[in-house]
């Protein structure tokens, strides 16, 4: 169990739970002034607990006889540069030392959280993973004497799956008002990142890789939210109704962040195998799925009738 707050100790006590392994999530607050676009300044972020609270948690775990104690944090996200990632590592190594000095506990593992970014923009370079490993090793040798059995880990889901997912959508509308808009049949319920934090996702048009990018479009979904835009003022080749538009790097925080606002149904997912064959691994949602959790008289019959019609 990874506790986000000291108050969770009361929950464990109330439920008479003494985990075999336990972990505590640290929020350095003003000690780490550096902010992150996605997570925000640690001081203003809801995650984790203060150092003092974390020490209270370590005392609790010691008292309960738990010998496998870990520490966790997540202060940055989608980071491409080594100083930010190594800064997290260094901070957590210092914390491990402080816990040992003050509480006589040698933590069994340190989890640096997520944070390893991917190059969403074509001009960006991927994280220098070997450099990160090398930097982590140097910091370990410098700061972690006597921690030979302490595991260290990152949660690198985005880095592993992010670049390998694509949202394929069709241009179904255009309008020319004060800007040129292309309306597509996906919307931010399929991919929330651009609308939620202005994230850039690269956009290409199938069959037009070599066409000049001589048009500037907002590529938009159909939700009644003006932030439902996959691309804003993006130079792209001319797009015609029916063109397939590919939104890149949607393998993380894509479908899994999906929702049903405006009655939108979640899309199917297709797995492309190494040999090029394709397999549907998730079907499209239907109206029946949308109403499946509702429960009132005659609902099922009516929904079945509407779906059939």
Give me the residues that bind ligand PLP (CB under 6 A), please: 74, 77-78, 113-116, 155, 157-158, 252
From 111, 112, 113, 116, select the one nearest 81 (Cα to Cα).
116
Q: How many helices (H) and strands (E) does the chain have?
A: 8, 13
Check if the beta carbon of residue 37 is closer than 8 Å to that of residue 44: no
- Of 192 and 205, CB closest to ligand PLP: 192
Strand pairing category for 203-205 and 244-247: antiparallel
- Of 58 and 252, CB closest to ligand PLP: 252
Does residue 224 have an active-site annotation? yes
Closest distance between ligand PLP and the C-beta of residue 251, in Å? Answer: 11
Please pick, among 57, 153, 224, 227, the residue that the annotation labels catalytic.
224
At residue 222, the 3 state secondary structure works out as: coil
Closest distance between ligand PLP and the C-beta of residue 212, in Å? Answer: 34
- Of 118 and 245, CB closest to ligand PLP: 118
From 39, 71, 84, select the one nearest 152 (Cα to Cα).
71
**Terminal Cα distance for the chain, rounded:** 48
Give the CB-nearest residue to ligand PLP.
114
Structure-token pair, residue 76? 């940055």
Check if the beta carbon of residue 220 is closer than 8 Å to that of residue 239: no
Contacts of 201 (CB under 8 A, 6+ apart): 120, 191, 193, 194, 230, 231, 247, 248, 249, 250
How many Å apart are CA 228 and CA 41, to the nearest integer? 26
Closest distance between ligand PLP and the C-beta of residue 77, in Å? Answer: 3
Identify the bridge partners of residue 262 per DSSP, sorted by sequence position: none
Identify the bridge partners of residue 182 per DSSP, sorted by sequence position: 174, 219
- Of 70 and 113, CB closest to ligand PLP: 113
How many Å apart are CA 143 and CA 55, to the nearest integer? 20
- Of 116 and 171, CB closest to ligand PLP: 116
- Of 193 and 267, CB closest to ligand PLP: 193
Residues for the chain: how many in total? Answer: 309
Closest distance between ligand PLP and the C-beta of residue 134, in Å? Answer: 20
How many Å apart are CA 116 and CA 254, to the nearest integer? 17
Structure-token pair, residue 165? 């997912």
Closest distance between ligand PLP and the C-beta of residue 208, in Å? Answer: 30
Closest distance between ligand PLP and the C-beta of residue 148, in Å? Answer: 26
List the catalytic residues: 224
């Amino acid at each position: 169990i990874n506790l986000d707050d000291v108050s969770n100790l009361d929950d464990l006590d109330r439920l008479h739970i003494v985990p075999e392994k336990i972990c505590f999530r640290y929020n350095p607050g003003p000690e780490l002034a550096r902010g992150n676009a996605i997570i925000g300044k640690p001081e203003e972020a809801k995650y984790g607990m203060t150092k003092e609270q974390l020490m209270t948690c370590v005392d609790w775990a010691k008292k309960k006889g738990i010998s496998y104690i870990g520490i966790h944090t997540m202060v940055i996200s989608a980071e491409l540069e080594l100083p930010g990632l190594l800064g997290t590592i260094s901070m957590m190594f210092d914390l491990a030392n402080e816990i040992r000095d003050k509480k006589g506990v040698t933590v069994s593992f340190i989890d640096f959280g997520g944070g390893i970014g991917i190059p969403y923009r074509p001009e960006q370079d991927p994280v220098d993973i070997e450099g990160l490993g090398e930097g982590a090793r140097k910091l370990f040798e410098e700061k972690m004497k006597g921690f030979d059995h302490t595991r260290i880990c990152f949660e690198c889901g985005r880095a592993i799956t992010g670049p390998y997912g694509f949202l394929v959508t069709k241009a179904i509308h255009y309008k020319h008002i004060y800007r040129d808009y292309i309306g597509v049949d996906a919307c931010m319920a399929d991919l929330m990142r651009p609308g939620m934090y202005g994230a850039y996702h690269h956009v290409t048009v199938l069959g037009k890789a070599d066409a000049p990018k001589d048009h500037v479009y907002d590529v938009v979904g159909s939700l009644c939210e003006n932030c439902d835009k996959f691309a804003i003022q993006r130079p792209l080749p001319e797009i015609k109704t029916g063109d397939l538009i590919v939104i890149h790097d949607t393998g993380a925080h894509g479908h899994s962040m999906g929702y049903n606002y405006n009655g939108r149904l979640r899309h199917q997912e297709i797995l492309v195998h190494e040999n090029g064959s394709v397999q549907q691994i998730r079907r499209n949602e239907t109206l029946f799925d949308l109403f499946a959790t509702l429960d009132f008289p005659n609902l099922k019959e009516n929904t079945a009738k509407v779906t059939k019609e």
